[in-house]
């Protein structure tokens, strides 16, 4: 059963130096035409892969809030027309850029039953924000949150990035202090990853990107864990923290390796055992929709072995880990038998642990998560 939908709005008013997501500058783009094609894709997708009520809808980008209020209304009308969900029970998230969310846009979102906002804050240091290519400043975050609360949003998340160029542990501590003082319902904090085809990647190759050391990065993560625990935020995944009961259902769907729709240019989906990737360039996306109703550039039938591997490297991101009983029920095989060698090696290294039925990362394992995850890929 498909319980989640991701919808991609690729437009941005500014391109951040670290971003490798599918995105384009907003100016002079065929935004209205793109939204019309997304409407077609939604309709065709649900007709081809019908499901009952979705549990979670997530609109990401790009910058979804770069759309005008009237464009948001058109887009949200399409979602309500084509996607099956109950407005009173769905988790309906919009990613937002601080400073983009005017009161008229907030009202449109609220009127169309969006009930969760995720602000891409990254840092509260204005100089650092400038350096990483963000267009907002700290004051914009405070104002945007105030405006959202006034309109009635009660579930707000903040994204942070650490290990940024020239960032110190002390600077990250200050950003955390400011973020936690806002008492959000949810926080995500990710270590910077340098991706190809980004400004930072080019600077790094020229030796012009002064990044913190591995030791400093590890200390930032340690501070993150300490401060979140001190403020009673539940860590339910390596990089995600929430007040109890307000964990992101969309995130959990992904890490639980469940099915989800992916709508829009560059979006990915996982439906009926097939992973599909949509074409990224807008003109190609819209042409594909015109010709076939579907914009797929890749379709991969996931083998049972691949599904089991994904169950491990996605599921182990969750604090609760992977359930032995659920694994057996899902695949008809014992977790210990399929991955006995890998599990035992990581237990001996102090990276994995059994807690009753659950296999999970230890505290040490959280710092070396990628090493653990990679060991479950390509296992024969």
Among residues 328, 324, 331, 326, which one has the least CA distance to residue 357? 324
In a 3-state reduction of DSSP, which class is residue 100?
Answer: coil
Q: Which residue has the tokens 């995105």?
A: 23
The confidence score (pLDDT) of residue 94 equals 97
List, for residues 87-138, the tens digit of each pLDDT value: 999 999 999 999 888 999 999 999 999 999 999 999 999 999 998 888 889 9
Task: Please give the pLDDT value at position 121.
Answer: 96
Q: Looking at residues 206-219, what average pLDDT do you find? A: 90
Secondary element (H or E) of residue 61: strand 56-61
DSSP bridge pairs for 6: 58, 262
Q: How high is the mean pLDDT of the chain?
A: 93
Whether residue 206 is predicted with pLDDT greater than 90 in this model: the reply is no
Is residue 40 classed exposed, middle or buried when 0-12, 13-18 and 19+ CB atoms within 10 A define those classes? Answer: middle
Does the pLDDT of residue 26 top 90, yes or no? no
Listing DSSP states for 321-352 in one string gives -EEHHHHHHHHSS-HHHHTHHHHHHHHHTTSE
In CATH, what number does 4-255 get?
Answer: 3.20.20.70
Q: How would residue 18 be classed by pLDDT, with cut points 50, 70 and 90?
A: low
CB-side exposure of 267: number of CA atoms within 13 Å? 26
For the structural domain made of 320-374, what CATH number should be given?
1.10.10
- CA nearest to 237, candidates 313, 312, 336, 316: 316
Judge whether residue 22 has pLDDT over 60: no
Query: CA-to-CA distance for 102 and 65, rounded, in angstroms?
Result: 9
Closest CA to 312 of 245, 373, 262: 373
pLDDT tens column, 156-202: 999 999 999 989 999 999 999 999 999 999 999 999 888 787 777 78
pLDDT of residue 205: 79
Tokens in use for 38? Answer: 């997304």
The distance of Cα 379 from the centroid of its chain, to the nearest Å, equals: 27
Output the CA torsion 29→30→32→35 (10° steps): -100
Question: Can you give the pLDDT at residue 15?
Answer: 63
* Amino acid 33: pLDDT: 97
| Domain spans of the chain, in order of start | 4-255, 320-374
What confidence score (pLDDT) does residue 204 get? 77
Per-residue pLDDT of 58-101, as tens digits, reads 999 889 999 999 999 999 999 999 999 999 999 999 999 998 88
3-class secondary-structure state, position 236: strand
Reduced DSSP (H G I as helix, E B as strand, rest coil) percent helix, strand, coil of the chain, to 5: 45, 20, 35
Higher pLDDT, 201 or 245: 245
> Tokens 């979670």, residue?
56
Element (H, E) at 65: none
Those residues with Cβ within 8 angstroms of residue 109's Cβ, 6 or more apart along the chain or in another chain: 72, 76, 94, 117
Report the pLDDT value the prediction gives residue 17, as an integer from 0 to 100. Answer: 62
Query: Over 80: is that where the pLDDT of 55 sits?
Result: yes
* Mean pLDDT confidence for 348-371: 95
pLDDT digit string, tens, across residues 258-300? 999 999 999 999 999 999 999 999 999 999 999 999 999 999 9
Helices (H), 6-67: 31-48
Confidence at residue 203, expressed as pLDDT on a 0 to 100 scale: 78
């Amino acid at each position: 059963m498909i319980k989640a939908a991701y919808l991609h709005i690729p437009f941005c008013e500014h391109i951040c130096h670290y971003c490798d997501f599918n995105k384009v500058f907003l100016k002079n783009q065929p935004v209205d035409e793109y939204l019309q094609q997304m409407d077609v894709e939604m309709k065709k997708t649900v007709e081809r892969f019908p499901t009952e009520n979705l549990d979670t809808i997530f609109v990401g980008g790009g910058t979804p809030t770069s759309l005008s209020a009237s464009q948001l209304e058109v887009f949200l009308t399409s979602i309500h027309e084509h996607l099956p969900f109950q407005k009173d029970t769905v988790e309906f998230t919009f990613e937002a850029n601080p400073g983009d969310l005017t009161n008229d846009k907030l009202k449109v979102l609220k009127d169309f039953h969006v009930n969760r906002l995720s602000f891409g804050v990254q840092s509260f240091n204005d100089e650092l924000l400038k350096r990483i290519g963000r267009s907002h400043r700290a004051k914009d975050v405070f104002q945007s949150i105030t405006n959202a609360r006034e309109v009635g949003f009660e579930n707000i998340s903040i994204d942070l990035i650490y290990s940024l160029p020239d960032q110190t542990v002390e600077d990250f501590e200050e950003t955390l202090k400011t973020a936690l003082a806002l008492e959000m319902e949810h926080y995500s904090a990710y270590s910077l990853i340098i991706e190809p085809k980004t400004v930072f990647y080019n600077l790094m190759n020229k030796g012009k990107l002064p990044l913190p050391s591995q030791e400093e990065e590890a200390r930032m993560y340690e501070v993150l864990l300490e401060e979140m625990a001190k403020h009673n935020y539940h860590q339910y995944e390596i990089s995600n923290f929430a007040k109890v009961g307000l964990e992101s259902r969309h995130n959990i769907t992904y890490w639980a390796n469940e099915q989800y729709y992916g709508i829009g240019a560059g979006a990915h989906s996982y439906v009926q055992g097939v992973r599909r990737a949509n074409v990224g360039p807008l003109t190609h996306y819209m042409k594909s929709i015109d010709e076939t109703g579907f914009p797929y550039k890749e379709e991969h039938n996931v083998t049972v072995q691949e599904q089991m591997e994904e169950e491990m490297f996605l599921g182990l991101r969750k604090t609760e880990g992977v359930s032995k009983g659920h694994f057996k029920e899902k695949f008809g095989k014992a977790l210990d038998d399929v991955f006995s060698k890998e599990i035992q090696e990581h237990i001996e290294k102090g990276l994995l642990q059994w807690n009753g039925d659950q296999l999970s990362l230890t505290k040490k394992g959280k710092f070396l998560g990628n090493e653990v995850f990679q060991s479950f890929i390509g296992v024969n």
